[in-house]
Amino acid sequence: MLGFELHFAREAGLLASFRSTIRTALDVCVQHEGSGTELPAAHFTAGRLRLLLEDPYEALHAFARGIRYCLVTEGTVPCDAIQAEIAWLHRVNPGKALPEEYHWAKTLLELGDAECTCQATAERSSKPRTPLTGPVLIVVGGAVSMKPEQLPPVTAFLKESLADFSGTVISGGTTVGVPGCVGEAAKHLADANAKHFHLRGYIPKALPEDAEKDKRYDKIIVSGADKFSPAQVLQGWQDVIAAGIKPKDVLLLGFGGGKLAALEYRLALALGATVGVVSGTGGAVEELLRDSLWAAIPELPLFPLPPDAKTLRAFVVPDGCKFDPVVLDEMAQEFHARYRADNLRKIKPDNLKLWKDLPPTYQNANREQAAYAIRILEAAGFGVRKAKGQPIIFQGFTPEEIELMAELEHGRWNIERLHDGWRPGPRDDAQKLHNCLVAWSDDKVLTEEIKGYDRTAVRAFPEILAKAGLEVSRR
């Protein structure tokens, strides 16, 4: 029924009589998806059925889930599972070019096939159409769906997040909504001689009346016909992969959005990119965070980010640590020793064990703290250099500098915890839930006592960096 017979029924004008049967079959697929049975076949079959029901976006969501399942269960799924879906698209459209929605599905599946480890891919080895330098950050969000009062905070977040980013930023390429916020942030940084990235936008041939091409972008790529559609999203990913950049090295930062943003989030997750969505921005972000079918997929790199500029900065900019692992461990142990000495009577026992008995999640937390210390100092206007002799320990931080660095440290801690599998919620160490995964401005949760931990940590930076032969000075 899903092959030539269905094509015949469609051509004969009989497809409407099969819709009830198709919906019944789709209900069964959705049940299998929800229970985790017959995977990835249930995902792929749901994609086929939604295409037949002329629901292309939901079809692409289903195909994306199937791709992600194939990639995270390497060796347990036949290598030709994705190729079989591509063949089906042609089988139900014999002897003619694929309709637009089927072409989107084919492109998406080809991107997934390019990432399947058992396949040799021409896309990975081909020359890029235009130069594209990594790392890559994709900024996604609503255009007309964003409320006017939401946009100034988004622009402020992006100005801070992109200040230290070097590489390629990809977004929507128009002056409205989140793509316009990206353009505004790029111009602000360029005017301050602080822009270090190339900004690319993807737009259709014909723009809506309420949107215009943003001239603040460095490069605008036209893809698709007369409306915004999956064509622009897919073209962007084709260019990324053609440039030899692995999806797992791509970051996506999302704010709200409609059905196109919803697809962008899921496509990035399908290919293995790290997706950070800002909680509280509504629309596609909240839908994604509630999506039980995606939540059931193992190893999903999806992070609910608090609306906090320093957290977003830590998500976008890696630590850039070049410490020797032995030195890094020494610094991490010193951070833990100081924390333990200050809090023996306050914090739960797991946090206070000796280093050799400390659970890996907390050992890693201290290593991450040590690795990011230089980033925080540089962001606050300090330089870190190799000492010529015995390091001179800087002791001149002002209260304002301590507060700024403490806020940066909390943002770093948020991202480190999220990467380690923790999520926001009432404190439950066994379930990796933490109530402090919030914005620095949330005074109801982050009391002065809790913020004091971050202030104490940053005051100790000069002494701990001295153990690596480094000294701090004001620039």
- The continuous run of DSSP H or E covering 234 comes out as helix 230-242
pLDDT in tens, 180-205: 999 999 999 999 999 999 999 999 99
Residue 259 predicted with pLDDT over 70: yes
Domain regions of the chain by residue span: 4-123, 136-305, 325-474
> How high is the pLDDT of residue 163?
92
SS3 (DSSP) at 14: coil
pLDDT band at residue 349, thresholds of 50, 70 and 90?
A: low
The CA–CA distances, whole Å, from 382 to 167, 186, 322 equal 24, 24, 18
CATH number belonging to the domain at 136-305, selected among 3.40.50.720, 3.30.565.10, 3.90.1300.10, 3.40.50.450: 3.40.50.450
Instruction: State the architecture of 325-474 in CATH terms.
Output: Orthogonal Bundle (1.10)
Show Cβ contacts of residue 408 under 8 Å, excluding neighbours closer than 6 positions.
Answer: 310, 313, 314, 375, 376, 379, 380, 458
pLDDT in tens, 219-232: 999 988 778 999 99
Identify the residue with better confidence: 163 or 328: 163
> How high is the pLDDT of residue 265?
98
Identify the residue with better confidence: 122 or 162: 162
Tokens encoding 368: 């991450």
Q: Mean pLDDT, to the nearest integer, of 239-261?
A: 94
| Preceding peptide of 40 cis, ω within 30° | yes
Q: Mean pLDDT, to the nearest integer, of 259-278?
A: 96
What does the DSSP assignment read for 172-185? --BSSHHHHHHHHH
**0.85 cut: is pTM over it?**
yes
Show Cβ contacts of residue 9 under 8 Å, excluding neighbours closer than 6 positions.
Answer: 15, 17, 18
Place of tokens 């697929």: 29
pLDDT in tens, 67-89: 998 888 765 666 688 999 999 99
Burial of 164 (0-12, 13-18, 19+ CB in 10 A): middle
Residue 124 predicted with pLDDT over 50: no
Q: How far is 424 from 467, CA to CA, in rounded Å?
A: 34
Of 146, 419, 161, 401, which Cα lies nearest the Cα of 260? 146
Distance of CA 96 to the CA centre of its chain: 37
pLDDT in tens, 5-64: 455 455 545 556 677 888 888 889 889 988 888 889 999 999 999 999 999 999 999 999
pLDDT band at residue 93, thresholds of 50, 70 and 90?
A: confident
